[in-house]
Amino acid sequence: MPAEDTVFAHLYEEFLFWSIIVGIFTFGAMFLFMIRYKEGSAAIDESQFEKIEVGLFPAERHNTKLEAAFYIVPLILVIWVTAIAASSTTAVWGDEDFWDTAIYGQDDYDYEHFTVTVYGKQWFWEFEYNQALTWEDEHPYMDVEWDNNNGVMMIHAHNHDGEHGEDAHPAYAELTVAGLTTDIPFNGEDMVIHEVGFNPLIHQKVQVFDEDDNLLHTWEHIPIGHKFVTPTDHLVVPCSLDDDDYTILWMHSRPLDDSEPRYVGVQHSFWLPEWGVKEDLVPGLESGTVMRFQPDDTGTFPIRCAEYCGLKHSLMQGKIDIVAEEGETCAVDIGLKKESSNQDQEGY
């Protein structure tokens, strides 16, 4: 079941509602007739029955309004659910300006939205970033700051005893720069100043842990061109902050290596169950395919391959992390915001 504020969840609820209504009338009538006309329920005088001749319509005793309702009501219902399905499809695929741009390939795209290139290989996902992303956990007692002028990093991690079990007792931090990790102890202090140069072209990550090695806080900078590979790495994208803010995935199917140029890979299907969207990765299609979705809730969600792609198809799994960009918050629910906007327009 996708997130409750997606168009597909709305479609599911509408179809479920009308299916229940039809089921109530259909099975209600069926059980009524079974009880009313079952053998022995009442004496039947067969002499009162009119003899029906094959090929002749009993025009004297038919009900025109009832017979017309048998055709008109189901027709209206079918037209209605078809319109609902079409509107949901239009909401996802109906942005003509975006898809006209997408047809020409990602090289001509202006990257107005956050974009990542996804490669489906045998048998893992590879994510290459077309834009830099700097993000940090939304934690009231921890923060990471960089002073680019003098190359000083400041890790603010305060001890905190929460009333509801949200204790935070930082013991050390791990600084990872270009794959090399350094431990930074706190020594009982609430803030650590560490001199390290910030390079926007290098992947850098800070993680704060307690004495039991539980992760308390994460700050990360992902540069343009950086690659993550499943199952070890997660795809990390920022949350959407307004109705027009999307994440765009350009997707290609590729072999593991290019040693055999005649082999162009296999068919994959990138599926995000949380948002109810999936898209095929077609081998040999140089322009690739494109997917867009609008994440507005932080968290970690599954990635699946919905197309059988070989013996290790079951390994085509991964995780996607929805995070808040540094200095931003994901507290606003886009789905609720849209619903409120629609209600305001109706009221006006």
Query: Domain locations in the chain?
Result: 1-34+62-94, 115-131+224-347, 133-222
pLDDT band at 36 (very low <50, low <70, confident <90, very high): confident
* pLDDT greater than 50 at residue 319: yes
Classify 237 as helix, strand or coil.
strand
pTM for the predicted model, two decimal places: 0.71
The yes-or-no verdict on residue 228 having pLDDT over 70 is yes
Overall CATH class of domain 115-131+224-347? mainly beta
User: Where does 133-222 sit in CATH, by number?
Assistant: 2.60.40
Are domains 115-131+224-347 and 133-222 of this chain identical in fold?
Answer: yes
Identify the band that residue 16 occupies on the pLDDT scale cut at 50, 70 and 90.
confident
- Cβ contacts of 312 within 8 Å, gap of 6 or more: 122, 123
Q: Are 116 and 212 in contact (CB under 8 A)?
A: no
Helix (H), strand (E) at residue 72: helix 64-93
**pLDDT above 50: residue 330:** yes
* pLDDT of the residue at 40: 61
Spatial distance between the Cα atoms of 254 and 105, rounded to a whole number of angstroms: 17
- 131-190: pLDDT as tens digits: 999 999 887 778 888 777 777 878 887 777 665 456 677 888 888 888 888 888 877 667
Confidence at residue 146, expressed as pLDDT on a 0 to 100 scale:
79
**Cα torsion through 154, 155, 156, 161, rounded to 10:** -170
Strands, E assignment, 137-179 = 142-147, 152-157, 170-177
Q: What's the N-to-C CA distance of the chain in angstroms?
A: 33
Predicted local distance difference test score (pLDDT) of residue 342? 46
Total Cβ atoms within 10 A of residue 252: 23
pLDDT-derived band at 323, boundaries 50, 70, 90: very high
